[in-house]
Amino acid sequence: MAKIEVENLYKIFGPHPKRALEAVRKGATKAEVMDKLKHGVGVNNASFQVEEGEIVVVMGLSGSGKSTLVRCINRLIEPTAGSVHIDGQDVTKLDDKGLRELRLSKLGMVFQNFALFPHRTVVDNAAYGLEIKGVDQATRRQKALESLELVGLTGWEDSLPGQLSGGMQQRVGLARALALDADILLMDEAFSALDPLIRSDMQDELINLQEQMHKTILFISHDLDEAIKLGDRIVLMKDGAIVQIGTAEDILTHPANDYVERFVENVDITKVLTADSVMKKAKALGYINSDGPRASLRKMKIAGISSLFVIDKGHQLKGIVYAEDCSEAASRGERDIKSILKTDLKTVQADTPAMDIINLLHDLPYPLAVVDDMNRIKGVINRGALLGAIAERGVN
C-alpha cells in the first residue's frame, strides 16, 4: 500500500463548483470553464501515489495547480471531488478533530516563505506543533532543540526569526516540521525563496537528512533542476492536470507531449544524464583466472579496442590490461595477466552525473568503468559515447 494515494482529485474554485465539475469531467478545459462558467480549475483529475520513503516532486509553472494539489492532501484546501488516502485512511472523510489529529501525527509542512511566527523565538517556532499536540514544555523544548540541531541551528534557539537569514529561517521551518516526528513532509516550494547557492546547499542537506530519516516527502517546485536533483519521481502538472509521472530520466528522454518537451528543453543535460544512461555494455571483458596475454590480445583485436577490463568469476572488477603490455608479456612467454594488471582504476557509480564524468574522462587513457556497490562492472563509458549521448539528448 502506498503511503499517499491520490485518486481522481478535483478542486474547482467558485460559488457553484458542482456544475463546473461536471463540465470538467466532460472534458472542458481550464480556459473554457473560466470563460463560460467563471470558475477556476485548481486541480483536474489528479491521481498519483507516493511510496513510503520516496521523494516525489510535483512540478509545474505557477498556476499549474501544484500548490493547490498539496493543500488538498492535508485539506488546507477542501477538494471538490476525489479521494486522498494516507496509510489507507481516507483524509477527505475526516471530521475537524480527526483532521487536526492527522495533521499533527503524520503531516509536517514546510512553506515557501517560511511562515515563521515573528513573535516567537526560534525554539518556540520549532516547538509549535508539539505545543498544539499538548506535549509538556520541557519535552517539547528538548525535542525542538534536537530538530534544530539536525538542521544545524544549535545556538540560535533564543533568537527571533527576524534576526535570521532566509536560509536559516527555512531551516527553522524544516525543524518545526521535523519536530513533529511525522512520517510525511509536505514541502511547498520550500527552497524557492532562497538565493541559488543557499538553495543548492539546502537541497544537499535535505538529501542528507533524507538518508538518515527516510521520510515520505512530497515536494512542490517550479524548478526542473531542483526536481531532478531531489525527486525519485517527478509529477509534472499543467493547468491543474497531471501531464506526466516518471523519473527525471523518463521525463527528459521520453517527454509525454510537446508541453513537457518544451518544459525540459532548457535543462542542463550534463546535470541530468547519469552514468548508467550514457554507458555502453563492455564489448569485451577479460577473466583474471582463465585469460592469458594472448587470449586478452585476441579479445581486444576482435572488439577493436586497446585496453581490456579484467573481472573475476563474480563479475567483480579487478583491473585493466593494455594491448602493448599484453603483447610484451606474450613475447616473454608468460601465461598469466596478473603481472601486467593495472589495478589503480578510476570508476564511477551508476548515478554519477555526466557533469562529473566529463571531468574524470579528461586525461584518462582508458574508458571509465561503471560499477555498482559491490564493485561489479555494469558498463563502460568512453569519451565518444558520452559526447554522443549529450549531443543526442541536448538537441530537440
Partner 1 sequence: MIEIPRIPLGQGIEALIEWLVDHFAFATKAFSKVMETGLTALQSALQFMPPWLFIIIAAALTWWLTRKRGVTLLTLFGLALVWNMELWAATTSTIALVIISTLVAILIGVPVGILAAMYKPVDKTVTPILDVMQTMPAFVYLIPAIPFFGLGKVAAIFSTVVFAVPPAIRLTSLGIKQVPRELVECAEAFGSNRWQRLIKLELPLATPTIMAGVNQTVMLALSMVVIAAMIGAKGLGGEVWKAIQRLEMGNGFEAGIGIVIVAMILDRVLQKVGSRKNGK
Residue 387 lies near partner 1 (rule: CB under 8 A): no
Closer CB to partner 1, 21 or 151, in the complex:
151
Closest CB to partner 1 among residues 76, 341: 76
Interface pick for partner 1 out of 100, 301, 332, 338 (rule CB under 8 A): 100
Question: Which listed range, 7-15, 98-106, 260-268, 300-308, lies at the site for partner 1 (CB under 8 A)?
Answer: 98-106
128/259 with CB nearer partner 1: 128
Write down the least CB distance from residue 99 to partner 1, Å: 8
Question: Which grid cell is 275?
Answer: 552514468
Q: Is 109 in the site for partner 1 (CB under 8 A)?
A: yes
List the one residue from 25, 78, 89, 117 that touches partner 1 (CB under 8 A). 117
Q: Does 176 bind partner 1 (CB under 8 A)?
A: yes
Which of 11, 66, 103, 229 is close enough to bind partner 1 by CB under 8 A? 103
Distance of alpha carbon 166 from alpha carbon 161, whole angstroms: 9
Sign of CA dihedral 378, 382, 384, 390: positive
Site size toward partner 1, by CB under 8 A: 26
112 vs 347, which CB is nearer to partner 1? 112
- Min dist CB 49 to partner 1, Å, is 22
Query: Binding mask 136-175 vs partner 1 (x if CB under 8 A, - otherwise)?
Result: ------------------------x---------------
Distance in Å, CB of 27 to partner 1, minimum = 32
Among 15, 27, 118, 304, binds partner 1 (CB under 8 A): 118
Binding of partner 1 by 119 (CB under 8 A) = yes
**C-beta separation of 306 from 387 below 8 A:** no
Residue 108 vs 231, nearer CB to partner 1: 108
| Identity of the residue, 85 or 176, whose beta carbon is nearer to partner 1 in the bound complex | 176
Stretch that binds partner 1, among 94-102, 237-245, 306-314, 380-388 (CB under 8 A): 94-102
Out of 8, 47, 89, 113, the residue judged to bind partner 1 by CB under 8 A: 113
Are 46 and 56 a contacting pair, CB within 8 Å? no
Span near partner 1 by CB under 8 A; candidates 29-37, 107-115, 243-251, 294-302: 107-115
Binding-site member from 31, 61, 132, 207 for partner 1 (CB under 8 A)? 132
SS (H, E, C) the chain: CCCEEEEEEEEEECCCHHHHHHHHHCCCCHHHHHHHHCCEEEEEEEEEEECCCCEEEEECCCCCCHHHHHHHHCCCCCCCEEEEEECCEEHHHCCHHHHHHHHHHHEEEECCCCCCCCCCCHHHHHCHHHHHHCCCHHHHHHHHHHHHHHCCCCCCCCCCHHHCCHHHHHHHHHHHHHHCCCCEEEEECCCCCCCHHHHHHHHHHHHHHHHHHCCEEEEEECCHHHHHHHCCEEEEEECCEEEEEECHHHHHHCCCCHHHHHHHCCCCHHHHCEHHHHCECCCCEEECCCCCHHHHHHHHHHHCCCEEEEECCCCEEEEEEEHHHHHHHHHHCCCCCHHHCECCCCEEECCCEHHHHHHHHCCCCCCEEEECCCCEEEEEECHHHHHHHHHHHHCC
To partner 1, the closest distance from the beta carbon of 156 in angstroms equals 17
By CB under 8 A, is residue 270 in contact with partner 1? Answer: no
CA atoms within 13 A on the CB side of 164: 27
133 binds partner 1 (CB under 8 A): yes
By CB under 8 A, is residue 220 in contact with partner 1? Answer: no
Rounded Cα distance between 315 and 237, Å, is 43
Based on the shown chain and the rule CB under 8 A, indicate whether residue 112 belongs to the binding site for partner 1: yes
Binding residues for partner 1, rule: CB under 8 A, are 71, 74, 76, 96, 100-101, 103-104, 107, 109, 111-113, 115, 117-119, 128-129, 131-133, 160, 176, 180, 186
